[in-house]
């Protein structure tokens, strides 16, 4: 099990105040890593850092803001080397081509695509300085499957997948591995908020319907995604780069 340990390594995890990002930060600190927690939520972030203990440091950062991302990575690097980056910050959207506004399209692109790009661009030179490292991006089954009412979201996750493959190839000689995870539906606060906002009084009914979309009959838990992230960022996955790893309850192949 030592090959799954992250002792002595420092990771940056974006979107770390809730959902998948928080679960990944929890799994990484439990495996011995120091984690820089990046999130826009200045209210929630300190509490998450306090729960995780001295191995976690909070950094309030808007990943769409180029100057803020640069300053944040400089501050993290001033405290020591960076060995990995997990891009988990992201937002979702429901809508078709015709019902997606230009403002919504741009907002999705800014967070999911530009944010991933800016953080990777800051991480790569520092991973080089550390003699190599790992980048893990959060894609989605929406990147490769035609999902209804997910036009703009699918666009962004397709871009994340493409950026992952390009980065893996470009920095192979630097000892930098780059992969992405493609979850199906995960039970995060977004799901609960979406149901409360759109199906008041019918939350349980719609939750069951959404859960049944996965052949295993339920949504994933954030901790399950985090365990895959831990594997991909550990030495146990040293032969894996340029890969998109579905974790989908059978959605892609068993529907």
Catalytic residue ranges? 153
Write phi, then psi, for 176 (nearest 5 degrees).
Answer: -105, 120
Which H or E element spans position 68? helix 66-78
Cβ neighbors of 47 (< 8 A, separation 6 or more) are none
- Return the exposure string of 221-232: e unless at least 16 CB atoms fall within 10 Å of the residue's CB, then b: ebebbbebbbeb
In a 10 Å sphere around its CB, with 0-12 CB exposed, 13-18 middle and 19+ buried, how is residue 108 labelled? buried
Closest Cα partner for 82 from 23, 52, 38?
A: 38
Q: How far is CA 5 from the centre of its chain?
A: 20
Cβ neighbors of 28 (< 8 A, separation 6 or more) are 6, 11, 13, 35, 86, 229, 230, 233
In whole angstroms, what is the distance from residue 25 CA to residue 18 CA? 10
Neighbours of 86 (CB within 10 A): 31
């Amino acid at each position: 099990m030592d090959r799954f340990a992250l002792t002595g390594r420092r990771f940056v995890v974006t979107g770390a105040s809730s959902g998948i990002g928080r679960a990944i930060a929890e799994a990484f600190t439990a495996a011995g890593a120091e984690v820089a927690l990046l999130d826009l939520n200045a209210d929630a972030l300190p509490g998450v850092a306090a729960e995780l203990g001295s191995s976690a440091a909070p950094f309030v950062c808007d990943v769409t803001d180029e100057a803020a991302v640069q300053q944040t990575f400089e501050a993290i690097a001033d405290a020591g080397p960076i060995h990995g980056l997990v891009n988990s910050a992201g937002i979702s959207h429901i809508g078709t081509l015709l019902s997606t506004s230009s403002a919504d399209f741009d907002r999705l692109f800014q967070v999911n695509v530009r944010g991933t790009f800016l953080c990777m661009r800051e991480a790569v030179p520092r991973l080089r300085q550390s003699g190599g490292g790992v980048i893990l991006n959060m894609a989605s089954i929406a990147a490769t499957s035609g999902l209804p009412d997910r036009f703009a979201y699918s666009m962004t996750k397709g871009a994340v997948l493409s950026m992952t493959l390009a980065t893996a190839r470009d920095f192979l000689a630097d000892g930098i591995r780059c992969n992405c995870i493609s979850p199906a539906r995960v039970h995060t606060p977004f799901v609960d908020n979406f149901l409360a906002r759109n199906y008041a009084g019918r939350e349980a009914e719609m939750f069951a319907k959404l859960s049944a979309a996965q052949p295993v009959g339920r949504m994933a838990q954030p901790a399950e995604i985090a365990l895959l992230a831990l594997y991909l960022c550990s030495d146990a996955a040293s032969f894996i780069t340029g890969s998109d790893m579905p974790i989908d309850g059978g959605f892609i192949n068993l529907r």
